[in-house]
Amino acid sequence: MKRTGPTNVYLKQLIESLKKKSLEGKAAIWRDVAEKLEKPRRKRVEVNLSDIDRNTEKNDFVVVPGVVLSSGELTKAVNVAAWKFSSSAKEKIKKSKGKVLEIEELVKEKPKGTGVKILC
Q: Report the phi/psi class of residue 60: left, alpha or beta, with left for phi > 0 and alpha for psi in -120 to 50.
A: beta
Domain range holding 72? 9-118
The CATH number assigned to the domain holding 24 equals 3.100.10.10
Q: Is residue 44 part of a domain?
A: yes
Q: What is the pLDDT of residue 46?
A: 96
| CA–CA dist 85, 99 (Å, integer) | 12
**DSSP reduced 3-state for 35:** helix
Q: Is residue 68 part of a domain?
A: yes
The H or E element spanning position 16 is helix 9-25
Q: Is residue 3 part of a domain?
A: no
Q: Is residue 2 part of a domain?
A: no
Q: Is residue 4 part of a domain?
A: no
Q: What is the pLDDT of residue 1?
A: 63
Q: What is the pLDDT of residue 49?
A: 97
Q: Is residue 19 part of a domain?
A: yes
Provide the residue-wise pLDDT of the chain in tens; the chain has 120 residues: 666 678 899 999 999 999 999 999 899 999 999 999 999 888 889 999 999 999 999 999 999 999 999 999 999 999 999 999 999 999 999 999 999 999 999 999 999 999 999 998
Q: What is the pLDDT of residue 7?
A: 85
Q: How far is CA 96 from CA 58, 76, 77, 83, in A?
A: 10, 6, 5, 20
Q: Is residue 23 part of a domain?
A: yes
Residue type, 110: K
Q: Does pTM surpass 0.85?
A: yes
Nearest to 61 by CA among 109, 119, 115: 115
Nearest to 61 by CA among 20, 95, 93, 92: 93
Residue 65 burial (CB < 10 Å; 0-12/13-18/19+)?
buried
- Our count of domains for the chain comes to 1
Q: Is residue 1 part of a domain?
A: no
